[in-house]
Amino acid sequence: MNKKTIIIIVGIIILIIGSVMVKHHFSNHDKHEMSQEMNHENNEDKTAIQWTPSTRSALIKEMNSINQNYQSLVSNLAQGEWGKVVENSHNIHSAFILKQELSEEDMADLHSILPEKFIEMDSKFHDHALKLAMAAQAKDGELASMYSGKMMEGCVSCHQIYAKDRFEGFSTHEEVTHEH
């Protein structure tokens, strides 16, 4: 195996582990735990977003959808299943369940509570998903892998800032401003 292949394989393994951690976390919360956790977050962490029950529910659905598609994407990318990678990427790019399920009033509330940095990170994440789809359409494995990695970096950075209380591994990390 050449160095490029080894790097891609290691990257894919790291991405799979990260996505399994996200899936495990979001699949283990019921509404009561979420409500208690939300109250606890708001009292302790200034970066915690004060989600309403409807926005929190929609966010969890969106995260689960992204996680499922990302796991499939990583597997499909490793196998050169370009059509499936394009489909997974488009599903992630268009996974705006928050926009689809919330009322206009909820959307207005959401925009008033979301920090600008969160919106910027979310936008960049969805942009990387679209660029990954374009790389997959061109069957460019190296570029597709790079955007897959950028998407994972986006997940990790966002979770370190806005969800560190939900992910034990991030609970001791300070806010991250690392960018490439």
Q: Which residue has the tokens 């990387």?
A: 128
What per-residue string of b and e applies to 30-63 under the rule 16 or more CB within 10 Å gives b?
A: eeeebeebbeebeeeeeebbebeebbbbbbbbbb
Position 66, amino acid: I
- Determine the Cα–Cα distance for residues 60 and 26; give it in Å rounded to an integer: 7
Q: Each residue of 64-107: pLDDT tens digit?
A: 999 999 999 999 999 999 999 999 999 999 887 677 777 888 78
Is residue 122 classed exposed, middle or buried when 0-12, 13-18 and 19+ CB atoms within 10 A define those classes?
Answer: middle
Q: Each residue of 96-137: pLDDT tens digit?
A: 767 777 788 878 878 888 899 998 999 999 999 999 999 999
Closest CA to 47 of 171, 144, 145: 171
Q: Does domain 53-171 have CATH number 1.20.120.10?
A: yes
Look up the pTM and report it. Answer: 0.69
